[in-house]
Amino acid sequence: MHATLAAALTVCALSSCVSSPSTPAPADPLALRAVEDLSPDPGVLELDLEARETEKSYGAASPTRVWSYNGSVPGPLLDAKVGDRVVVHFKNSLPEPTTIHWHGIRLPAAMDGSLAMQDPIPPGGTFEYAFTLKDAGLFWFHPHMRSDIQVQKGLYGVIRVRGADEPAADVERVLVLDDIRLAADGTVSETLDDTSKMMGREGKTLLVNGVPNARLSLAPGSLARLRIVNVANGRFFNLRLPGHKLRVLGTDGGHFAKPRDVDTLLVSPGERYDVMVRVEGAAGSEIPLVNEAYDRGHESGGAAPMEIMRVALSSEARPAELPMAAAFPETARLADPSGGLAVTLDEILRGEDVIFTINGKAFPDVPPFAVKLGETKAIDIDNKSEMDHPFHLHGFFFQVVSRDGVAVAPDELVDKDTVVVRAKSKMRIVARFDEAGKWMYHCHILEHGEAGMMGEIHVE
């Protein structure tokens, strides 16, 4: 058995897992399923992964036909460590072609799952994804064709990669944030109304690990480490836990040198955050985790707050107080070269359709950038549109070095692969392009990417 998986199985209560897909589901509805490791090598995680249709209940709604990985939504939690080799024997049992994109993972371009480098996997087809994990962090996987539909139907899963020095906590949970728009008969509609075209699909049903009206049980006084990922098509989650500060340890590709305490934490589609919180309150009480209103453009700031889940304080004895993580090594700063690739984000109306553009063009008509292998390159992003866009780069981490011309402080430097570029703002990022291939960049509001806000960087 894979060593990391074996260790994870001994702490299921901490890591939200079960022993294998064949074991009974745990009492904890927020537990994410694990996978059977097919390799006896402790440095290899080898698994079967199948995309297939199944049925899922979302609260009081009628059962919904969903698309799943290995029969669950979310798909399984893959637990591994830095340096492990991951081998995925993938089978597509869906009625249409698909791929898997390994969001945030630095890997060979042929394994990235975008159509720039991979042919679609047809119904009944198979493909073997294989790559070595270079970085610790929380990553996720999802299709990269018709992604607005396929992800909305349930195709997403999580990879947690452990590093050598993980911060201590009483409990660690992975929280997969999503929403879903259901028709009265429980079906997932593929139709886009005008609001969804502009803002991305937002559903009234908020989900944590696929569960509506979720409850997370924690002991009073416990130090909880929350590994958060937003897999929603278009919803921004602006998180607040009343009466508590959230300590933000890090984000997509690493930790901040100096973690910061915040009252609210904005997590845009595609982003991940590593958060600690010391849960306080009386046993038996409940604290709502709230999605606060956030103005991301087009008069969206007036939305009413929505409850995402409740933290239920158990009657367990108060644990001995662990210190909260306070510092990490500084992120090595990439050199900021002169010049850079110019990326202008905008939106236009073409008849009754909204077209989201990069440099005045809609994909696939966006001219690709050419970058030399090993080159460190700046990308200057100018968001001329009336709304925020989460910018995602495949295959590489980048560092935000300035916002609207103001340099980022050294202790705020961190490796990212997805970042919010605010409406009518500019941002300069720097990346080192050390892997050859054709790499996508795009807005991670999935409807925007499908409507044209996508481009390619060719590294050779």
DSSP string covering 280-317, please? Answer: -S-TT-EEEEEE-----BTTGGGPPPEEEEEEEE-SSP
Whether 434 is covered by a domain: the verdict is yes
- The residues near 135 (Cβ < 8 Å, ≥ 6 apart) are 82, 105, 106, 161, 253, 254, 397, 415
Question: Amino acid identity of 327?
Answer: A
Written as six digits, the tokens of 135 are 């970085």
Shared-domain flag, residues 93 and 232: no
Nearest CA among 91, 67, 68, 87 for reference residue 78: 87
Residues written for the chain: 460
Longest dimension (CA), the chain: 63
Q: Pick from 261, 258, 255, 256: which is nearest to 278 by CA?
A: 261
Question: Do 177 and 140 share a domain, yes or no?
Answer: no
Q: Give yes or no: residues 8 and 138 share one domain.
A: yes
CA distance 9 to 278: 25
Find all residues with CB under 8 Å of 288, minimum gap 6, and list them.
Answer: 241, 242, 307, 308, 309, 310, 311
Distance between CA atoms of residues 315 and 282, nearest Å: 9
State both tokens at 214. Answer: 């979720």
Tokens of 294: 């956030």
Is 321 domain-assigned? no
Q: What is the pTM of this model?
A: 0.93
The predicted structure's pLDDT at residue 250: 97
What's the CA gap between 457 and 460, in Å, rounded?
10
In which residue are the tokens 């933000």 written? 248
Question: Do 234 and 378 share a structural domain?
Answer: no
Q: Are 189 and 143 within one domain?
A: no
Percent of the chain clearing pLDDT 90 (strictly above): 85
Do 15 and 142 fall into the same domain?
yes
If asked whether residues 79 and 139 sit together in one domain, one would say yes
At 139 the three-state DSSP class reads strand
CA atoms within 13 A on the CB side of 265: 30
Q: Is residue 362 located within the same domain as residue 309?
A: no
* Domain enclosing residue 24, as ranges: 3-162
CA 82 to CA 163: how far, in whole Å? 6
Distance CA 74, CA 209 (A): 6
In this structure, are 436 and 299 located in the same domain? no
Q: Which pLDDT score, from 0 to 100, does residue 26 have?
A: 52
- 356-414 pLDDT, tens digit per residue, is 999 999 999 999 999 999 999 999 999 999 999 999 999 999 999 999 999 999 889 99
Reduce the DSSP state of residue 148 to 3 states and report it: helix
Residue 409 contacts by C-beta under 8 Å, 6 or more apart in sequence? none
Sheet holding 353-358, edge to edge: 353-358, 341-350, 375-383, 425-433, 398-403, 406-407
List of the chain residues with pLDDT < 50: 1-25
For 260, which DSSP code?
E
Dump pLDDT digits (tens) for 225-280. 999 999 999 999 999 999 999 999 999 999 999 999 999 999 999 999 999 999 99
Decide which of 107, 128, 162 is a domain's last residue.
Answer: 162
Q: Are residues 227 and 185 in the same domain?
A: yes
Residue 269 DSSP SS3: coil
Measured CA to CA, the distance from residue 141 to residue 98 in angstroms comes to: 12
Residue 395 resides in a domain: yes
Handedness of CA 369, 235, 207, 315 (dihedral sign): positive
Q: Residue 320: inside a domain, yes or no?
A: no
Place of tokens 């990235």: 112
Phi/psi at 7 (5° precision): -65, -40
Give the count of beta carbons closer than 10 Å to the beta carbon of residue 153: 21
Could you tell me the CA-to-CA distances from 13 to 9, 21, 82, 438 in Å, in that order? 9, 17, 23, 41
Element at 354 (helix H, strand E): strand 353-358
Do 192 and 301 lie in one domain? The reply is yes
Side-by-side strand order, sheet with 272-278: 211-212, 205-208, 171-180, 223-230, 272-278, 246-251, 254-262
Domain end point (choices 162, 185, 218): 162
Residue with tokens 């924690």: 218
- The answer to the question of residue 176 being in a domain is yes
How many structural domains comprise the chain? 3
Under a CB-based contact definition with an 8 Å cutoff, are residues 135 and 161 in contact? yes
| Residue 3: strand, helix, or coil | helix
Tokens encoding 375: 């080159």
CB 433, CB 371: distance < 8 Å: yes
318 assigned to some structural domain: no
Residue 399's CATH number: 2.60.40.420
**In this structure, what token pair is assigned to residue 278?**
């010391």
Residue 193 located in a structural domain: yes
Q: Say yes or no: 141 and 106 in one domain.
A: yes
Task: Please check whether residue 336 lies inside any domain of the structure.
Answer: no
pLDDT attached to residue 61: 67
Here the tokens at position 266 are: 């904005």
CB count, 10 Å around CB of 13? 14
d(CA 356, CA 198): 9
